[in-house]
Amino acid sequence: MALLAFALPDLEAAFAAWCDWLAHERRAAARTQAGYRRDLAAFVAFVADHQGGPVGLPAIAALTPQSFRGWLAWRLGQGYAKSSTQRAVAAVRGFLDFLDARHGIHNPALRAMRAPRARRPLPRPLAVAEVTELTDAAASADQPPWVLARDTALLLLLYGAGLRIGEALELQPGGLPGAGESALRVIGKGRKVRLVPLLPVVREALAAYCDACPHPLPADGPLFRGVRGGKLQPAVVQRRVRELRRALGLPETATPHSLRHSFATHLLGGGADLRSIQELLGHASLSTTQLYTAVDAEGLARLYAAAHPRA
């Protein structure tokens, strides 16, 4: 990945090594890698523009707090969202940490700054009745029977196990729980493995799909297949859910990922503790899981307002 005309050879080589480290040692998700590469390339372009020429490692080491403040002010003036700037700051900090560890190039200036705090949007779960409508509709649409079985099994899996769509589509038949087993082995972000219990209704739906699928399902191949037998793509699932929600009159927030939100919110409402939900979702930080407490509190407030005689 080149830094275009803005980097001298020493910085270009360090950037390539950092990209390789992100992919093979840190094992960052592909989208994270792509975002970090873009962010760092834009940062180097900004520095080059302000110093009037290509940037090398000595210039990066010499950057001052004023340099970083100028960069943040420029991003603000360009209309970047706070969440985007937070990621860009994380990318630059990560690269500087890499330079410090691998090349002994130390620049603490960025550490003295705080990225703009972005308000994290609350998850938008579906009601239990809406989830039921969605999964029932997936089993009765105008599609080949095996496709209906596939879509039903996939949506039940997303809701019943709280998987991300990418995690579900990476599953292999050989990874499904066998006789006497009750947990699904899921490979999440950063290639971290977690075990998620499978409800009987989800196991039955997966078995029905495997029996109905007309394509070979070798143990080490993708479990969910497209119409032509290749690996099912996220865009196909998203389009299918979009069609179903429009037919049912469900809100625009009814997406494959909202089933994961619904899984967590409904567990919390049923009395599950946050630590358990964190483990099931594969969240690295408990603070991410704590967002669902705000969602549950909102639901309680609505119930209170609707039911209390003095509300």
Buried b (16+ CB within 10 A) or exposed e, 250-282: beeebbbbbbbbbbbbbbbeeeeebeebbebbb
State the Cα–Cα distance between residues 243 and 128, nearest whole angstrom: 19
Which among 87, 240, 260, 266 is annotated as catalytic? 260
Determine how β-strand 183-187 pairs with β-strand 193-197.
Answer: antiparallel
* 260 noted as active-site residue: yes
> Taking each helix axis from N to C terminus, what angle separates 128-138 and 234-248, rounded to the nearest 10 degrees?
110
Which among 36, 159, 209, 292 is annotated as catalytic? 292
Which among 164, 225, 240, 245 is annotated as catalytic? 164
Nearest to 162 by CA among 290, 259, 83: 259
In the three-class reduction of DSSP (H, G, I as helix; E, B as strand; rest coil), residue 99 is classed as: helix
| Distances from the Cα of 25 to the Cα of 47, 88, 101, 166, angstroms | 28, 20, 14, 21
> Six-digit token pair at 184?
């699904």
* 189 noted as active-site residue: yes
Are 205 and 215 within 8 A, CB to CB? Answer: no
Are 140 and 126 within 8 A, CB to CB? Answer: no
> Taking each helix axis from N to C terminus, what angle separates 274-281 and 256-269, rounded to the nearest 10 degrees?
160
Which among 27, 185, 189, 242 is annotated as catalytic? 189
Which among 87, 261, 266, 283 is annotated as catalytic? 283
* 283 noted as active-site residue: yes
Task: Tally helices (H) and strands (E) across the chain.
Answer: 14, 2
Buried b (16+ CB within 10 A) or exposed e, 208-229: bbbeebeeebeeeebbbbeeee
Active-site positions?
Answer: 164, 189, 257, 260, 283, 292
